[in-house]
Structure 1
Amino acid sequence: MLFGLFIAGIIMITLTFTWSESLDKSFNSLIKFIVSMWPNLLTGILLLFATSHYFGRKAGILILVKNRAKLIVGIGTAFVVLLTSTFVASWVGFIQEGIDNIGTNDNPFEDYIFKPMYWITVFGSIPSLILGGILGLTIRSRGKNYDF
């Protein structure tokens, strides 16, 4: 989980510094983004930890007790954690700002639910694929040491 958050931070920093004209502007815009979005980011991080713990335990049971395919379960678990935590965290922004825009020309469901789900899925797919595979292999290799 921590490694996944580290990768997400690297992606966010890289995109911020790649698309900006100057280094000072990039750093300032990144800080402004973090300060303005701290409730969403904090909720997302806490949800990532909670969902990874919950679904990780389920993955362990599927791999060790029910002898399911370790790579498929690991990768599937990583995607479920990513999508579940993103979906729930997106509602924080919707409740804070988007709910007031219902019925206007803005589409708050698209802005606060669909777009975060889309972009986090796009940028999180490859890390989830890799880390999920590692998760499945790690559960299987460490689980062989235990007698169920």
Structure 2
Amino acid sequence: MKHETKYIFRVITINLIIAILIMLILIDFDFTSLLEFFIDFSLNFLIGITGLYATGYVIGQNLYKFKRNKYTVAHGILSIFGVLFLGTLLGATVGFIQEGLPNGNEYCLKDELFDYFAKPLFLIFLFGFFPTLISGILLGIRLRKDL
């Protein structure tokens, strides 16, 4: 495994910890509610987190091409946002397949796509934009120094 991939894995782990802390702040540190939320959506989280690390692996393996480039900070930011976007899409797809597919007479594809893709992407980028931006900048700086 390349150094770039290890750095991305560290950034993903740190961002997941930050996401849990943000969720705890939003629910007033009610750990039982957080645990119930994780249990209710465990498959979504499992697939989403696996998607984060799988995407991070692929991006990290290809990030070496940009070493000693003056745009390493931009590459770090775009890499982490790409990981966040694709991981969110994978996790949202699980929810869409489980609950959003045709469900009797009240099915509307437009509403289901909005509920299962647009809303999660919006919320994750709303709360995760600044932590992801900061970690992407730090990743880019680390790549510039290390490589």
Range of TM-score over shorter length: 0.7 to 0.9
Query: Secondary structure, in 3 states, of the residue corresponding to 1:89?
Result: helix
CA distance in 2, matches of 1:36, 1:99: 18
Equivalent residue letter for 1:2: T
* 8 Å Cα contact 1:52/1:81 also seen in 2: yes
**Structure 2 residue aligned with 1:63:** 67
Equivalent residue letter for 1:135: L
Query: Secondary structure, in 3 states, of the residue corresponding to 1:100?
Result: coil
CA distance in 2, matches of 1:73, 1:114: 25
**Structure 1 residue aligned with 2:19:** 8
CA distance in 2, matches of 1:44, 1:69: 29
Identity %: 35
TM-score of the aligned structures, taking structure 1 as reference length: 0.82
CA distance in 1, matches of 2:131, 2:105: 37
* Worse-superposed segment, 26-35 or 127-136: 26-35
1:42 aligns with 2:46: yes
Are the structure 2 counterparts of residues 134 and 102 from structure 1 closer, same or farther at C-alpha, using a change threshold of 3 Å?
Answer: farther
Query: Secondary structure, in 3 states, of the residue corresponding to 1:118?
Result: helix
**Structure 1 residue aligned with 2:101:** 99
Uncovered stretches (5+) of structure 1, i.e. residues with no partner: 18-22, 144-148
TM-score of the aligned structures, taking structure 2 as reference length: 0.83
Uncovered stretches (5+) of structure 2, i.e. residues with no partner: 1-11
Indicate which of 78, 81, 84 corresponds to 1:79. 81
Query: Secondary structure, in 3 states, of the residue corresponding to 2:46?
Result: helix
Equivalent residue letter for 1:83: F
> Could you say what the CA RMSD is over the residues aligned between the two structures, in angstroms?
1.8
CA distance in 1, matches of 2:65, 2:104: 43
Post-superposition offset of 1:58 = 2.3
Give the paired residue count: 134
Post-superposition offset of 1:90 = 0.5
CA distance in 2, matches of 1:102, 1:84: 30
CA distance in 1, matches of 2:104, 2:50: 28
